[in-house]
Homo-oligomer: A and B are copies of this chain.
Amino acid sequence: MIHNKHAARYVSKLSNKLRRRIDAFSCRDRMSGAEGRVLHFLLTQQGDLFQNDIEEEYSLRPSTATELLKKMEHHGLIRREPMSGDARMKRIVVSEEALGYRQQVLQDILQLEEELTRGIPEKDLDVFFRVIEQMMDNIS
């Protein structure tokens, strides 16, 4: 290794700072941190989504995902519909109420993204994304 910097530590540190920042989001008084993150994921993803996808996206164990989604369902953020074709799977659907937060959530994320990437050249961001993708491949 030539670098004296540790990529793992850098990434973790930035991620922790981000968690802090995201906890200050406006909608946060109506849902927990994890619930907010998952809601944002649901709102920006297209196509059918299942518990499986949540587990993969956030590196969660099935039981953790179950508990989290159950809580979101109880809070009225999502519904879970049986999937025709495979009775084991339940499709996750964002509720009407949660769709009302959509604008705010997207706005918050957009603002964070702009703040985060301020002063960073486009080509550097391209490299950054490429490196992260490679790293995710490397350890998966």
Contact = CB atoms under 8 A, between A and B. Distances in A.
B8 A109 contact: yes
Q: How many copies does the complex hold?
A: 2
Interface in A1-56: 1-3, 5-22, 37, 41, 44
Q: What is the interface of chain A mostly: helix, strand, loop, or mixed?
A: helix
Interface residues of A, number: 53
Nearest to A130: B124
A122 to B, nearest CB: 7
A58 B20 CA distance: 10
A68 B86 CA distance: 45
Interface in A107-138: 109-110, 112-120, 122, 124-125, 127-132, 134-136, 138
A12 B19 contact: yes
Contacts of A37: 12
Contacts of A14: 11, 15, 132, 135-136
Interface of A: 1-3, 5-22, 37, 41, 44, 57-59, 109-110, 112-120, 122, 124-125, 127-132, 134-136, 138-140
A11 B1 contact: no
Given A7-B116, A113-B6, A13 B136 contact: yes
